[in-house]
Chains A and B, each alone.
Chain A
Amino acid sequence: MPLYQLSINGKKYRVNADAQMPLLWVIRELVGLTGTKYGCGIAQCGACTVHLKGAPVRSCSFPVSAVLNQPITTIEGISNDNSHPVQKAWIDEQVPQCGYCQSGQIMSAVALLRDNPHPSDADINAAMQGNICRCGTYPRIRKAIKRAAATLPKTNGQ
């Protein structure tokens, strides 16, 4: 099995994995970061969303061999103390119910706000449409994204 060097949340990991192994299973089963969730395996639900070089990808359908040297961020890398504006907004709006999809929801929201700190409703729709929540927390997700946006500076954070 080939050896891959991965940068996840700023730390280096070396893993032996099948080239076709989805990044999701590498992160969860080989690296041991279980905050990223398995939901569908076919990039339909977004529970497995991580950032690859800052952009959201569905890690369940992204082979480890395609990562190359791009840095990966998972939910564990957003902050170590729930201090990210999106996490704070998620608490303020009391978004999660069962919580299983929320890692993916937050990763999508963080990516949205990084590119577009003051999204319209249509922007939120477009960015969050790929994330399913069976508990139905969508109204609170929308409010939380707007709340987080209100705390962000007016300039693009890139």
Chain B
Amino acid sequence: MKIMKEISRRNFIRQTSLSGIALTLGASVSGKTAVEIINAQTPDKMGTELMSWISIDKSGKVTIVSHRSEMGQGTYQAIPQMIAEELEVNLDQVTIFFAPANPKKYGPQPQEGSFSVRGWYKQLLQVGASAREMLIDVATKRWNVATSECYAKNGDVIHRPSGKKLGYGLLVEEAATLTPPQNVELKSRKAYKIIGKPLRRQDIPLKINGTAQFGLDKKLPGMLYAVVERSPRFRGKVKRFDDSKTKAIPGVKQVLTVKRAVFGSLFEGVAVVADSLWAALQGRKVLVVEWDDSGFDHPGSEQLASQMRENLKKPGPSPQFEAAFENATKKLEAVYETPYQSHSCMEPLNCIAHVQDNRIEIWGPIQEANWIQADLSERMGIPKENVTVNMTFLGGGFGRKAFPDYPHEAALISKAINAPVQVVWTREDDMRLGPFRPGAFYACRGGIDNKGQIQALQTITATQWLGEGWSPEPYPDPKPAGYNSGSLEGMPSPYFKAIPHYSFGGVGTRSPIPVMWWRAPMANTAGFAGESFVDELAHLAGQDPMDFRRSHLPDKRFQALLDQLEAISNWKSRGKNAGWGVAITECFGGICGHIVQVVRKTDGKLNINKVIALIDCGWYVNPDIIRAQVEGSIIMGLGAAIKHATTFNDGKAVHQNFNTYEMPRMTDTPEIEVHIMENDEPAGGVGEPGLPPFAPALCNAIFDLTGKRIRTLPFKLEEV
């Protein structure tokens, strides 16, 4: 029997911060920019480097480095926009470069946890402000005037009394010799000229005419192509392969066994290397590989589901919780089930590697430059400073491109063939090989008192834990079932203040399937279970779901969010003909509430009419990018709720392409309205927090309309 502890706030923070890596968001600005993908060969184009992020040439042209990956979330804008605000330059005149991985210069560069703005804004504002002060300092000395008489504007330092001006280009070389001042006073939010404004993204002009360079678009002179037949049961070893027909294809150069590190395991494949992508693809079609699939299970989805259902019982009763639950006036128990999912970025995985002697250079859609640099260094035995990781635009990331397996595989192939090589994953490779979002099942129990307050709440999670893949091969026994060991990511934290007896526990799934983070990791499943169950308890208490949440979220930010959500949706005046559902989740520093409205159409089928979203991300950079991220999060959440799931049969993923793994399309898209809370809170996440509330708000709306409670995702909306 396990001992259950009451959850403390500290414990909550500790537990929720363990839930893994994810995505991001940022903000942006308008204008035409000459964009190049920077690599180690082109720093001279930038002029004099004033600070790590800022270079200015003699003509005054400013280059700002974005050291974060751009995968749609808008950091390509957010990073320069924050710096430009304090630097006092107009972003229209700024050239933006992607920085290669360089943790010494830029600090950590991972795209995860919706962290680009919230994790960096104070430092980046300071970078811009320090650079500005250095430029003002040089001008002041040249004019021999008081610093207080000078200010910076639009790339010039101006002497207020005389109106004299000096452009940054004339000051930068001398300014670069100064020591950057520390702790420069930053502008007040009211004084911002570009932060907080819905300025147009500078990457968009490149993304509407074919000039934005994604990983697959990058080519190197003398580059070969590789496609890889990888073990369809993930952990199979190459027993033998027959490449006689492959080698007969004109253009095929070599066929070789290759590995790639997926957490603690080495997964195997056979690479077909050719002088064209077409030849490599043709060669692979006629390649015959025999796999050794011994030593690990080959589960199907039903076996995984049965295991998770059994596992939910494993933590056993917890005496403290049971006592509180027993005393409740009304009680409810429910199990929620969510499936495995593929990331399915529109740009399938790909990577160019060029390994020479003691050097590696990588180009690709890279979400995690530092980790990939360090991982390659360690695995290939090459010093980190000799590993160059260049980022292109990413055609989606969602967590998948933060993983170092595909660059590792590319580097091994390049080393073996002694040439630069682009490894291209087909859609089928990308979709069927994972790592996947793990399926997660939740057993929820709750009891309310005679005033309708939750007295006891328990959630047990059965899932494949994201971190356990690090164990040695073949695959680990999960850590033992227990309490205080699950993840609460997604649940609004004030619930834990309001509910006297809260218990949470977890049980790991034993499975050979590789899993990893997916946009809003854990929150995207735990939020569904948690906010569906809270809704069920509201109905059990006979209370309005909005009022019920209000009395269980004793926190001013949440109260303000609820008030605003109620006002913008006209919640109280909703009619009987539509079903309305509300859900609120908190993850990665962002709080988001959705109201989903469903109706029954004349043909008898349900339709999602409208989604109203309200996000509280505190201090922010660009409201239009926030709206775009929340819109996109809703549609991605809709896909996971009613369109697709990755299922397994005999140890292999069943769905391999968009013909069966159905994406939301134009006709699935409801009207979406996104609102942003205005407050003085610190910057929070934006790229992920908009996703988790969708599924529970939808299911709560369906219950409101039909009385039918949906506890398993995905479901077919037309069959409800």
Footprint of B on A, CB under 8 Å? 17-18, 21, 25, 29, 33-42, 44-45, 47, 74-76, 78-80, 82, 87, 90-91, 94-103, 106, 124-125, 128-129, 131-142
Contacts and interface: CB of A to CB of B under 8 A. Distances in A.
Interface string B638-664: 000000000000000000011100011
Given A18-B278, A99-B72, A136-B636, A129 B346 contact: no
B663 A134 contact: yes
A94 B397 CA distance: 20
Contacts of B631: 136-137, 139-140
Nearest to B200: A94
B278 A25 contact: yes
A100 B666 contact: no
B396 A141 contact: no
A36 B210 contact: yes
B209 A82 contact: yes
A94 B204 contact: yes
Contact of B208 (A17, A82, A125, A138): A82
B663 A132 contact: yes
Interface of B: 70-74, 200-201, 203-214, 216-217, 276-278, 282, 344-348, 393-398, 426-428, 624, 628-629, 631-636, 657-659, 663-667, 669, 671-672
A100 B659 contact: no
12 contacts: A35-B209, A44-B659, A45-B658, A90-B208, A94-B200, A124-B666, A128-B665, A134-B344, A134-B346, A138-B635, A138-B665, A138-B669
Contacts of A136: 631-636, 664, 669
A60 B486 CA distance: 44
Contact of A38 (B348, B398, B657): B348
A131 B664 CA distance: 10
A135 B277 contact: no
A132 B346 contact: yes
A17 B277 CA distance: 12
A139 B632 CA distance: 9
A94 B72 contact: no
Contact of B426 (A41, A125, A135): A41
Contacts of A39: 346-348, 427, 658
A79 B397 CA distance: 29
A37 B208 contact: no
A87 to B, nearest CB: 5
A92 to B, nearest CB: 9
B427 to A, nearest CB: 5
B625 to A, nearest CB: 8
A46 to B, nearest CB: 10
A99 B134 CA distance: 37
A25 B277 contact: yes
A128 B666 contact: yes
B460 to A, nearest CB: 32
Given A39-B427, A97-B72, A98-B396, A75 B666 contact: no
Contacts of A33: 210
B396 A135 contact: yes
Interchain residue pairs A-B with the least CB separation, the first 6? A35-B210, A136-B635, A100-B395, A99-B207, A98-B72, A97-B72
Contacts of A18: 278, 282
B350 to A, nearest CB: 9
B665 to A, nearest CB: 5
A41 B427 contact: yes
Contacts of B216: 34, 37-38
B150 to A, nearest CB: 37
Given A29-B277, A91-B204, A98 B217 contact: no
A44 B629 CA distance: 24
A125 B636 CA distance: 19
A136 to B, nearest CB: 3
Contacts, number: 172
A140 B674 CA distance: 13
A118 to B, nearest CB: 18
B204 A37 contact: no
A97 B394 CA distance: 10
Nearest to A39: B346
B210 A139 contact: no
Contacts of A94: 200-201, 204, 624, 628
Contacts of B345: 98, 100, 134
Contacts of B71: 98
A124 to B, nearest CB: 7
Nearest to A92: B200
Given A45-B346, A47-B346, A132-B663, A100 B396 contact: yes
Contacts of B672: 139
A101 B396 CA distance: 10
A21 B278 contact: yes
A8 B497 CA distance: 65
Contacts of B205: 82, 91
B430 to A, nearest CB: 10
Contacts of A103: 210
B628 A102 contact: no
A100 B216 CA distance: 10
B87 to A, nearest CB: 24
A138 B628 CA distance: 10
Given A100-B347, A100-B395, A76 B209 contact: yes
A98 B667 contact: no
Nearest to A90: B208
A122 to B, nearest CB: 9
Contact of A140 (B207, B397, B427, B628): B628
Nearest to B201: A94
B603 to A, nearest CB: 15
B636 A134 contact: yes
A74 B210 contact: yes
Contacts of B397: 98
B671 A91 contact: no
A139 B669 CA distance: 7
A104 to B, nearest CB: 9
- Which of B204, B344, B658, B666 counts the most chain A CB atoms within 10 A? B666
Given A129-B667, A134-B663, A44 B658 contact: yes
A145 to B, nearest CB: 10
Given A40-B658, A97-B73, A91 B208 contact: yes
B279 to A, nearest CB: 9
B671 to A, nearest CB: 7
A137 B636 CA distance: 10
A128 B671 CA distance: 16
Nearest to B30: A91
Contact of B393 (A17, A76, A91, A99): A99
A147 B657 CA distance: 33
A44 B426 CA distance: 14
A37 B347 contact: yes
A97 B632 contact: yes
Contact of A96 (B208, B277, B278, B394): B208
B33 to A, nearest CB: 13
A132 B427 CA distance: 13
Nearest to A32: B219
A149 to B, nearest CB: 16
Given A91-B208, A96-B72, A99-B212, 10 more contacts: A33-B210, A36-B210, A37-B347, A39-B658, A75-B210, A82-B209, A97-B629, A99-B207, A99-B208, A142-B666
A137 B632 contact: yes
Contacts of A34: 210, 213, 216-217
Contacts of B213: 34
Nearest to A75: B210
B72 A132 contact: no
